[in-house]
Amino acid sequence: MSKAKLKKHLLSLTKEQITDIVLELYDARKEAKDYLEFYLAPNSNTELEKCKKTIRNEFFPARGFSDKPSFAKCRKVISDFQKLKPEPAFVSDLMLFYIEQGCEYTLEFGDMWEQFYTTLEGNFDKAMRFIFLNGLLDCYYERIEKLIDSVSDCGWGFYDTLQDIYSEYR
């Protein structure tokens, strides 16, 4: 169904019918519940911390060892957070946090496989593009440089690639 058809249908309903639909949606889908709760009482800091905890747990679970963090899950956490439409600074913070966790993971457990680095590099590029397009580079340059410097001894040309990506946006 297109948005136009949906809008036309919703306009034909009473306020009470629309309220019932929204309440059913709230009960039926966790994503809808999260969105509506954020919409009604937006607290970007709380949501950001919740997202950071989920990402951190992918790399450093409270119990045991994560032998293969799920990059897909981390990207979904970021994507779901963006759908809430917080200020770009919050999204930038989360995007960088994700890369920082990957860097900390490789520093903690040694060199990783090539795809690990390639995936982080791609996500670093997305983060840099987002930060640049939202005019936030000045707010994050120290943090970004610290992140890059922290992986100067990593293999697979990881450090050099991060430096190259960063230099595109400076």
Tell me whether residue 147 is exposed, middle or buried, using C-beta atoms within 10 angstroms of its C-beta: 0 to 12, 13 to 18, 19 or more: buried
Distance, CA of 60 to CA of 53 (rounded, Å): 10
- Per-residue pLDDT averaged across 117-145, rounded? 97
Stated as kind and residue range, the H or E segment containing 57 is helix 44-59
Q: What is the pLDDT of residue 148?
A: 97
| 22-55 confidence digits (pLDDT tens) | 999 999 999 899 899 999 999 999 999 999 999 9
| 148-157 confidence digits (pLDDT tens) | 999 998 878 9
Among 104, 100, 78, smallest CA distance to 90 is for 78
The pLDDT > 90 percentage for the chain reads 87
pTM: 0.88
Residue 120 to residues 127, 128, 139, 152, Cα–Cα distance (Å): 10, 12, 21, 15
Q: What is the pLDDT of residue 23?
A: 96
Q: What is the pLDDT of residue 159?
A: 95
pLDDT band (50, 70, 90) for residue 102: very high
pLDDT band (50, 70, 90) for residue 88: very high
- pLDDT above 90 for 111: no
- pLDDT above 90 for 65: no
